[in-house]
Structure 1
Amino acid sequence: MPSSARLPVRRRRRFALIAQLVAVVVAVGAAVTVIAERPGGQPGAERLAAEQIGTPPPLVDAPVPPEPSPSAAPPSSAPPVLRVPGAVPSAGSGTFGYDSRSGPVLGRAGELRRYRVAVESGSDEDAADFAQAVHTALAGPGSWVDSGRLRLQQVPGAAPRDFTVYLATARTAGRMCAQGGVNIRINGRPYTSCRAPGQVIINLDRWRLSVPHFVSAAVPLTVYRTYVVNHEVGHQLGHRHERCPGAGRPAPVMMQQTLFLNGCRANPWPYLNGRRHSGPAL
């Protein structure tokens, strides 16, 4: 075959070889592009994320507390407060400051009775603290609302109410109780607390000092305070005095525990184990 006839064939082979080389280069470039990109198509995304977030700090093991020594004794709890030390003001101004807060409704069902809380000026007592102690006594468990037929709620001083719980110095308490027809004097001094119509009057002496037979029996002051609130509120609710039901048994809350226990054990609650705890009528 003449040379002029073979020339196109050579060119076609050269072109085919060049085309194969171009195809290889394109394939390699595509592979490199795929490796360098994340699925979102943003080159170097892993490196950028690391720069923006920063390298996380190394994990540090939490310190392990040392095991207690077998010979180490547990810390002893502080003994209960039986009475407040220091002098108790015997007289105040005769005027009262009221806790301004509203409290939650205590009890599940029954008549709602509202009360306010007042502290005599000059008694060195805080109305909010006294209100909290009254709330604790009336909330229970074990309080009068456990009957399921009564609800109680603290209201501010100026709000409509059914009764007021007062904390008064001995002289003021004696006067207020006498005006309500109750003599709280023992050996010539106002000693106990009382209930007058619409007024539950707690004697500051008893609130601060409890009573000797509670103190000698190591009954905490908080127990006496809960008792005296529930006892006088019990009078406001229409309950009368009761006697000890038997030696060694809990005293009914309507027993005059401020004066005696008569073989019973101190008890601040009208309900025990969900049942009304009472004794023979006095």
Structure 2
Amino acid sequence: MADGWYLREYGRHSDRDEGGADGWGRTVTVVRDPQLATRLPYVAEDDWDERWDDGAYADVTYVRGGFDRVNPHELPPPVRFRSPVREFVRKYGWRAYALPVLVVLTVVALATAKGPEPRRATAATGAVPTRPTAAAPSTPATTPSTSSAPAASASASAQPSAPTLKSYDLPPGAPYTLQGKGTFRVLPGTTRAVGSGQRFTYDIEVENGITGVDLTAFAKLVDTTLDDKRSWSGHGVQLQRVANAADATFHVSLTSAMTVRSLCGYDIAVETSCYDPGQSRVVFNVARWVRGAVAYQGHLDEYRVYMINHEDGHALGHDHAHSCLANGMAPAMMQQTYGLISATTHRACTLNVWPYPVGATDAPGAEDTDTDANNEYYLAG
């Protein structure tokens, strides 16, 4: 068959410049393709008006119509034009669905994200202030509340600020027994004799009715403190704990706050401990044992050691000291419950719980009879 132009619908190697849209809305393409000669009507090159072999004139319109008379199974497969979205999905598979989901999630996250929280100042810890600011002392466990708390104000500026504690005030803390039964019982236990010199014996007692104190730990701390070389034993005295009150030179007793007042007096309206020579009784105020002192806030165990050495010192014949040691420490016989300001020099001493601390050359310090002039209570601020 001579080379010429062949007509095919949606054929390969199509060139839109060689064809055009027919009246039926199809696209007709004129191509050189000898392989289609047996299937499609033939038209000689540049001879669109020549007659076909069946005698009919072959104009373009008639030839186009001839496509409908061709066996559809002999036609090449039609070219399907996909939409851009379907083509994108076919090419990228599941990623085409994941992409818009990720975009939506990103937008939501950006819209709901919050900025960083404002930084808040935090309180420093570690140092023990001599005159800290604290909340008002709380009510002892055995004292009933006499009035209900007022409703909180909506305005922070309307609320009263917490008062500043005096150095002799009882700090806030755990509840304690305000009133016991006024009688004492001996806690079981003994120790070996420690130190050398004048012999003193003691027992350990607790007032009946006191609660909330670990009595085993209380007795152990008394014994280990008096057994320490920095305490009184070994410095001209010998100490030993005994089991019977009748064998004791003095009695170390944990006492309720109201009983303390009856044994020690309350001329100065402050919770204190004392030594009662009439009963040979070292009187530890349970309020101070539980809460300590302002100068020792955060160091309750150290304050308890100070209580033992100070009040037992009275039982051993020592008076109060009113001046700092040469190294600046407060003597164990100074009234540190009132504060750390020397009543004679007005210097601030540093904390010290021992009568004979390491490095102190003038321990236990100069002692003197109490007067209003040398009482640390009047220097408390």
TM-score, with structure 2 as normaliser: 0.46
- The 5 Å alignment of 1:187-266 reads 187=269, 191-197=271-277, 198-215=280-297, 218=298, 220-245=299-324, 249-262=328-341, 263-266=348-351
**Aligned position for 1:13:** none
Task: Give the alignment partner of residue 184 of structure 2, picking from 80, 84, 96.
Answer: 96
Q: Describe the superposition over 1:128-169 as per-residue Cα deviations: whole angstroms up to 9, x where unpaired.
A: 32211111221113000131x211011113441100011101
Contact 2:180–2:256 (CA under 8 A) maintained in structure 1: yes
Match of 2:365 among 262, 279, 282: 279
Match of 2:79 in 1: none
CA distance in 2 between partners of 1:266 and 1:98 (Å): 32
Give the distance between the partners of 1:264 and 1:166, measured in 2 at CA. 29
From 211, 215, 225, the counterpart of 1:137: 225
Identity percentage over the alignment?
A: 35
State how far apart, in whole Å, the 2-side matches of 1:196 and 1:164 are.
10
Structure 1 spans left out of the alignment, 5+ residues: 1-78, 178-182
2:256: which partner in 1? Answer: 169
Q: How much has 1:246 moved relative to structure 2?
A: 6.2
What is the one-letter code of the residue matched to 1:175? S
TM-score (norm 1): 0.62
1:123 aligns with 2:205: no
Question: Any idea what SS the aligned residue of 2:194 has?
Answer: coil
* SS of match in other structure, 1:97: strand
- Would the aligned equivalents of 1:248 and 1:264 in 2 still touch at CA under 8 Å? no
- Of structures 1 and 2, the one with the larger relative CO (CA 8 A, separation 6+) is 1
Give the alignment partner of residue 354 of structure 2, picking from 261, 266, 269.
Answer: 269
- Alpha-carbon distance in structure 1 between the residues aligned to 2:304 and 2:210: 16
Aligned CA distance change for structure 1 residues 247 and 159 (closer, same or farther; 3 Å): closer
Structure 2 CA distance for aligned equivalents of residues 106 and 246 of structure 1? 26
Conservation of the 8 A alpha-carbon contact between 2:180 and 2:208: yes
Alpha-carbon spacing, 1:269–1:184, altered in 2? closer, same or farther (3 Å): farther
Matches of 2:186 and 2:218, distance apart in 1:
10
Residues matched between the structures, number: 193
Which protein has the bigger helix share?
A: 1
Query: 2:312 is matched by which residue type in structure 1?
Result: V
Cα deviation 1:95-116 (Å, max 9, x = unaligned): 2221121111121x21221100
Give per-residue Cα distances to partners, 1:194-223, cap 9 Å, x unaligned.
Answer: 0111111010111110012221xx4x1111
* Partner Cα distance (2:244, 2:206) in 1: 11
The one-letter amino acid of 2:238's match is R
For structure 2, the 5+ residue unaligned runs are 1-125, 128-170, 342-347, 369-381
Tell me the residue number matched to 2:92. Answer: none
Larger Cα-atom Rg:
2
Q: Distance in 1 between matches of 2:290 and 2:172?
A: 5
CA distance in 1, matches of 2:172, 2:192: 29
Over the aligned positions, Cα root-mean-square deviation in angstroms equals: 2.8
Q: 1:1-26 deviations in whole A, cap 9, x for unaligned?
A: xxxxxxxxxxxxxxxxxxxxxxxxxx
From 106, 109, 121, the equivalent of 2:194 is: 106
| Partner SS state of residue 112, structure 1 | strand
Give the 3 Å change call, closer, same or farther, for CA 150–84 of structure 1 in structure 2: farther
